[in-house]
Structures are given as C-alpha cells and as structure tokens.
C-alpha cells in the first residue's frame, strides 16, 4: 500500500501518473476555490485542473501529459488557486521529470562519462602500436590528443564514473603511512 502524497514529488518518471492531495486551509475547495497546476520547461505540460474532494484538492498529472516526444529534465511548476477572479500562487518550485525508459533507444540513458571512457579506451588502444600523434597529408595537418593526455583524461573520467556508481564512497584509494615519533627515515 502506497502512502498518499501531499505535494508534487521532487521527481517522477515521464509516462507515469502522479496523484497527490493538497489541503489549503486558507483556500478550501468547499468554499469554491479551484486549483490548477502549471508545469513548464523544455516542454509545456497541459495545465492540470484539480478535483475538489471536500475541502481538499486531488491533483492528477496523467501519464499522457509526459509521453511521446516529451523531453526529460528540470521543470518549473506553479500551483495556483482561483475564486471569482482572485488568483494566488500557493506553491512553486522545480520538479525533475526523469526519462521514460519504456521509449528509450540504445545509449539514450548511458552516462556521457561512460561513453567518453569507451571512446578514450579505443583511442588509446588504437594508438599503442604506432604512437603517432600527428601527420600531414597534402598540406593538411592532423593532430591527435597526446597519449599522456589521453591516459590522464581517461583516469579522471574513470574516477568520475566510479563516483557516479558509488555515491558517497571514495573512488580512488588513499594510502596513508604513519611513522613513529622521532623517525628520521631516508
């Protein structure tokens, strides 16, 4: 059994239905107030009119509002109440609408760091037999990333990828050695 939401969640997946109950003591639905949710970002979501339930509002963002060619990302939202031409914003913020994985294509959801690591590994592997960094043909100069720079960049990206896989963890081990007091080593 899921707990009933009382506000728009911080994030939700595109192509899913979001339902929450909003109770506003200053603007009760029973007194004739209406409630509308607006969401805008890379795309505009059709305004969502809440249904009155006693003095509360039940807000339903239908799955169809974020399907198809919907662009995932950060969206701003505004919750407004209206009665007899009086309009008040009762809440606003940012919601992260995540990609709809049911319509994802190959590599759509692969981290760019993962893609870059694969490309750099292939670049380094291809360079190992010849080590050539630049050449000239018919007056055109082609320069490749120096091997040392490619290896350094690969190392940094692999560390970043490890941090993504293990948030809060240490991706690069740090070795510490303690010497006894008064030690005068060479």
pLDDT digits (tens, 9 = 90+) for 76-99: 999 999 999 999 999 999 999 999
Q: What pLDDT score does 3 carry? A: 82
- Neighbouring CB atoms inside 10 A of 26's CB total 9
Interstrand relation of 86-98 and 73-83 (parallel, antiparallel or unpaired): antiparallel
Residue carrying the six token digits 């940094």: 156
Residue 27 burial (C-beta neighbours within 10 Å; 0-12, 13-18, 19+): buried
- Neighbouring CB atoms inside 10 A of 57's CB total 26
How would CATH label the architecture of 11-102? Answer: Sandwich (2.60)
Query: Is the distance from CB of 78 to CB of 59 less than 8 angstroms?
Result: no
Question: Per the confidence metrics, is the pTM higher than 0.85?
Answer: no
148: left (phi over 0), alpha (psi -120 to 50) or beta: alpha
Does the structure show a pLDDT above 70 at 67? yes
Domain boundaries, the chain: 11-102, 110-165
pLDDT digits (tens, 9 = 90+) for 6-38: 999 999 999 999 999 999 999 999 999 999 999
- Provide the 8-state DSSP code for 28: -
């Amino acid at each position: 059994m899921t707990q009933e939401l009382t506000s728009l969640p911080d994030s939700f997946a595109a192509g899913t239905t979001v339902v929450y109950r909003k109770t506003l003591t200053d603007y009760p639905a029973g007194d004739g107030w209406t409630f509308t949710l607006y969401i805008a970002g890379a795309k505009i979501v059709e305004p969502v009119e809440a249904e009155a339930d006693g003095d509360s509002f039940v807000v339903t963002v239908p799955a169809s509002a974020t399907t198809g060619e919907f662009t995932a990302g950060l969206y701003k939202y505004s919750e407004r109440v209206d009665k007899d031409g009086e309009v008040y914003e009762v809440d606003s913020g940012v919601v992260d609408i995540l990609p709809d994985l049911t319509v994802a294509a190959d590599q759509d959801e692969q981290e760019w760091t993962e893609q870059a690591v694969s490309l750099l590994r292939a670049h380094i592997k291809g360079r190992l037999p010849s080590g050539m960094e630049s050449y000239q043909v018919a007056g055109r100069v082609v320069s490749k990333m120096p091997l040392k720079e490619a290896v350094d960049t690969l190392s940094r990206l692999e560390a970043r990828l490890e941090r993504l896989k293990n948030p809060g963890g240490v991706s690069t081990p740090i070795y510490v050695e303690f010497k006894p007091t008064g030690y005068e080593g060479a």
